[in-house]
Amino acid sequence: MNINDKNLEDTKYQQNPIQKVTFAIASDFIGLGGLELMLLQYYKLADKNRFNIKIVCLDKGKREETLKFLERRGVGNENVIMIKDSDAKFGFLLGNWFTKKFFYALIRPLASFFIYVFGLRKILGKELDSQVVYLFNNELNSYFRKFKGLVIGHNGMWVIDERSISFHLIKNRLLWKRIDGMRLFPQYSKYVNNLNRKHNFVLQNGIDVNLYHPPREDKNWKEIRFLFVGRLDYGKGFDLLIAAVSLIPKDFNFKLFIVGEGVLRTIIPADDNRVEYLGKKNSEEVADIYRNSDILVLPSRWDPYPLVVLEALSSGLGVIVTQKLKGAYDDFERVNALRYTPLEPGEISQNMQEMATEIEEIRNNFPVVHNLIVEKHDVAKITNLLLSELTKKYIAFNKGEG
């Protein structure tokens, strides 16, 4: 290479120093949740002329099914690396504790520790041709102990609580040691310089604003239509919602539609015709259900930033969420499209009934709320912002600034 070619290469590097990115997720894509859908959106919308993106995912015994699914979504087999699900070795520890705080605070870190010590994981190092790894599940960080590039974690499943054991383990780098920086959600921006990692940044979530849009026609049903979308489990607060519904007076004209699957399906009251279980639905079906509903209720115990809230707001619904999400959706609270509620059935029930009285105002406010979503939460914009942040952090990392 002559000096002119070298200068040209240096210029290209400064303009585009990062070309190889890996998205890593603790999933085999057989069941699609919010994180899987988010990853697939980022992959689809990334500029393929600029970025070569690979996906690391889990092999849970259905390898061919996973590869075929990803291929249908536009991800070629050459861009997929599958690793054995070593956490399955600790299935006896998880059991019914999966949705309990005890699992997240103690068992999960212990499982990671034993997997680390006894080398139960395949370690990805030189064979991973990448510059940056973006983790959708932070527990995967130990797979990348020998990786020489930048590793960025994700705020997706982590509710930051300074009183928790996990917060102090993470802050002191006793947990998630290999993570060089975190993508934090806006309500946690104060921690950007407070997690003992120099490559943190703040970025909100995004959704497909073309799929999730308000109804084209006026809503003409007489009853108030409440909606729950998500896993039917303790973490999502599904038990709190069912308890709250039981407190609504019998003469209150409403329906509750339930979308999703989970271990708490058995608590859906079979003798209450005001409650209708719709089962599991794909994204297009969910978008249509949003447009035929009034108010989403999600009393989640520890979701930091659920996508379904943005999807519902973009589709013209009012939303009720837990106070634990305070700071995440304040823009929508200010325009009276969203309420924060304490995690108590009586309070949830009261908020449901009160928001129902404001439904005409919420419906009239569709355009304002949807435009706010388009401005700040369009997933195409968020994808570009994410890759831009990864680029900036990689430049700093490469210079030894961290």
pLDDT in tens, 332-350: 999 999 999 999 999 999 9
- Tokens representing 85? 């699900």
E-strand ranges in 76-189 read 80-84, 132-135, 150-154, 181-184
pLDDT at 238: 97
1 lies in some domain: no
Given a contact cutoff of 8 angstroms between Cβ atoms, the answer to whether 227 and 234 are in contact is no
218 lies in some domain: no
Query: Do 240 and 92 fall within a single domain?
Result: no
Query: Do 337 and 385 fall within a single domain?
Result: no
231 lies in some domain: yes
pTM: 0.85
pLDDT at 113: 56
Q: Running DSSP on this structure, what letter comes out for residue 275?
A: E
331 lies in some domain: yes
284 lies in some domain: yes
Q: What is the arrangement of strands in the sheet containing 275-279, beginning at the earlier edge strand?
A: 275-279, 254-259, 224-229, 295-298, 318-322, 338-341
219 lies in some domain: no
Closest CA to 129 of 77, 56, 49, 71: 56
pLDDT in tens, 270-329: 999 999 999 999 999 999 999 999 999 999 998 889 999 999 999 999 999 999 899 999
Q: How many domains does one find in the chain? A: 2
Which amino acid does the sequence have at 47?
D
Most confident of 219-228, 301-310, 373-382: 373-382
Given a contact cutoff of 8 angstroms between Cβ atoms, the answer to whether 211 and 241 are in contact is no
Rounded mean pLDDT of the chain?
87
Place of tokens 């949830």: 348
pLDDT at 100: 45
pLDDT in tens, 380-401: 999 999 999 999 999 999 888 6
Q: Quickly state the pLDDT bin for 107 (edges 50, 70, 90).
A: low
Query: Do 44 and 130 fall within a single domain?
Result: yes
Mean pLDDT of 359-364: 92
Q: Give the length of the chain.
A: 402
Mean pLDDT of 356-365: 93
3-state secondary structure 283-303: HHHHHHHHHCCCEEEECCCCC
Q: Which residues have CB under 8 Å from 229's CB, separation 6+?
A: 259, 260, 286, 289, 296, 298, 308, 311, 312
Place of tokens 């073309």: 210
Query: Do 197 and 231 fall within a single domain?
Result: no
Query: Do 44 and 111 fall within a single domain?
Result: yes
CA–CA separation, 190 vs 195, rounded Å? 10
pLDDT at 160: 82
CATH number at residue 35: 3.40.50.2000
CA–CA separation, 347 vs 106, rounded Å? 31
Query: Do 232 and 186 fall within a single domain?
Result: no
4 lies in some domain: no
Closest CA to 315 of 289, 333, 336: 289
- Tokens representing 399? 């210079």
Mean pLDDT of 203-231: 93
CA–CA separation, 136 vs 263, rounded Å? 24
Place of tokens 């959600």: 185
Query: Do 158 and 198 fall within a single domain?
Result: yes
Mean pLDDT of 203-225: 92
Query: Do 199 and 260 fall within a single domain?
Result: no
- Tokens representing 262? 């989970």
pLDDT at 249: 96
243 lies in some domain: yes
Query: Do 132 and 239 fall within a single domain?
Result: no
Query: Do 383 and 321 fall within a single domain?
Result: no
Query: Do 390 and 331 fall within a single domain?
Result: no
- Tokens representing 349? 């029930």
CA–CA separation, 130 vs 54, rounded Å? 8
Full residue range of the structural domain in which residue 386 is found? 9-206+379-398
Given a contact cutoff of 8 angstroms between Cβ atoms, the answer to whether 61 and 36 are in contact is no
CA–CA separation, 140 vs 26, rounded Å? 7
Instruction: List the single range of 8-17, 149-158, 178-187, 245-254 with lowest mean pLDDT.
Output: 8-17
Q: How far is the CA of 4 from the CAs of 16, 88, 121, in angstroms?
A: 18, 54, 45
CA–CA separation, 350 vs 352, rounded Å? 5
Query: Do 360 and 314 fall within a single domain?
Result: yes
Phi, psi dihedral angles at 46 (to 5 degrees): -65, 145
Given a contact cutoff of 8 angstroms between Cβ atoms, the answer to whether 38 and 154 are in contact is no
**Is the pLDDT at 96 greater than 80, yes or no?**
no
**Is the pLDDT at 126 greater than 90, yes or no?**
no
Instruction: List the single range of 68-77, 156-165, 303-312 with lowest mean pLDDT.
Output: 156-165
pLDDT at 164: 85
Q: Quickly state the pLDDT bin for 159 (edges 50, 70, 90).
A: confident
pLDDT at 348: 98
Task: Enumerate helices (H) and strands (E) in the chain, giving the number of each.
Answer: 15, 13
Q: What is the DSSP string of 239-260?
A: HHHHHHHHTS-TTS-EEEEEE-
Q: Which residues have CB under 8 Å from 92's CB, separation 6+?
A: none
